[in-house]
């Protein structure tokens, strides 16, 4: 698709601009065409789509997105990459806008409304690993109309996103992602697919957002507070975890009564609950608090 997927071309561009990789931005550029093709295919990009790309780097994947989408908005935090993108690798494309900004500070809602109205966008990104979770949660919890998020992340983070109850990878991130979206791991990606090589394996995961939440919970914010409190002390029982974190506002008796009403033992642990279980527990806690 994009000629930049050739490592020699990538090196030539980097040398031409005397580009120096910045550890603080977690920069690892994709140089494997098979992985790129899998990402683009998994994202189901069409000529009707506005695509938000986070961290375009030197524009390798951006080129492929431009060839498949109606319009691409690429948000890049590193100012040293902007001349490369605007004056070189993306100069042949008239359907791309490059924004030099931290995506966590950008008003994405306003940007999407201006460019796409109320229609949902698709997000594609090779995310810096140090900021993966905040970016994902920003996209999921906001009012941005998003249809899907196809991203390259650290392999163990991808595993956590789709993990189920009782497994070592299951936790607050699993539940948050699965509340908002259906996760699907598209491909596992070894270190040699990047320049420079990262220290960890990666994976491409697609999150297809639910049109409606899969469970009925009366107080979404409370549910996630309970979940976080539980997984902050995952070796303890749910009762003890909640008392440690929320004891000033939540009585032990109320927690015990909620478990009893659901037919659960007081030795139950949060890691045993699936999303429906957490919703039922939260609704019972809410009900007993009135």
User: Using one digit for the tens of pLDDT, what is the confidence trace for 220-256?
Assistant: 999 999 999 999 988 899 999 999 999 999 999 999 9
pLDDT tens digits, 75-93: 999 999 999 999 999 999 9
Question: Hey, which CATH number is domain 3-209, 2.40.50.140, 1.10.10.10, 3.40.228.10, 3.40.50.150?
Answer: 3.40.50.150
Start-end of CATH 3.40.50.150 domains in the chain: 3-209
In this prediction the pTM is 0.93
Percent of the chain whose predicted confidence (pLDDT) is above 70: 98
What is the mean predicted confidence (pLDDT) over 178-201?
95
Q: Which fold has domain 220-288?
A: Helicase, Ruva Protein; domain 3 (1.10.8)
pLDDT tens digits, 24-39: 888 899 999 999 999 9
Start-end of CATH 1.10.8.100 domains in the chain: 220-288
3-state secondary structure of 207: strand
| CA dist., res. 271 & res. 154, Å (int) | 22
Per-residue confidence (pLDDT) for residue 7, from 0 to 100: 80
pLDDT tens digits, 112-170: 999 999 899 999 999 888 899 999 999 999 989 999 999 999 999 999 999 999 999 99
DSSP string, 223-274: HHHHHHHHHTTTTS-HHHHHHHHHTTTS-HHHHHHHHHHTT--TT--GGG--
């Amino acid at each position: 698709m994009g000629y930049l997927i050739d490592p020699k071309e990538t090196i030539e561009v980097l040398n031409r601009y005397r580009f120096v990789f910045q550890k603080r931005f977690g920069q690892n550029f994709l140089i494997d065409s098979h992985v790129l093709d899998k990402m683009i295919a998994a994202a189901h990009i069409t000529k009707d789509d506005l695509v938000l790309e986070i961290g375009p780097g030197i524009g390798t994947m951006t080129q492929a997105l431009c060839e498949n989408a109606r319009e691409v908005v690429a948000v890049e935090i590193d100012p040293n990459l902007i001349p490369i993108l605007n004056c070189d690798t993306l100069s042949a494309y008239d359907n791309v806008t490059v924004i030099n900004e931290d995506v966590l500070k950008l008003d994405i809602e306003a940007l999407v409304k201006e460019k796409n109205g109320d229609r949902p966008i698709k997000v594609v990104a090779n995310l810096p690993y140090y900021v993966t979770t905040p970016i994902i949660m920003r996209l999921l919890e906001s009012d941005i109309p998003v249809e899907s998020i196809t991203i390259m992340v650290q392999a163990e983070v991808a595993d956590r996103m789709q993990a189920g109850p009782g497994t070592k990878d299951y936790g607050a991130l699993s539940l948050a992602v699965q509340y908002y979206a259906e996760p699907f791991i598209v491909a596992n990606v070894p270190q040699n697919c990047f320049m420079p090589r990262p220290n960890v394996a990666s994976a491409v995961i697609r999150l297809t957002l639910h049109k409606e939440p899969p469970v009925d919970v009366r107080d979404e914010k409370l549910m996630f507070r309970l979940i976080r409190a539980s997984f902050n002390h995952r070796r303890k029982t749910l009762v003890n975890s909640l008392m440690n974190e929320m004891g000033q506002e939540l009585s032990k008796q109320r927690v015990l009564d909620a478990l009893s009403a659901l037919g659960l033992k007081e030795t139950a642990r949060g890691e045993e609950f699936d999303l429906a279980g957490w919703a039922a527990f939260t609704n019972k806690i809410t009900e007993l608090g009135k």
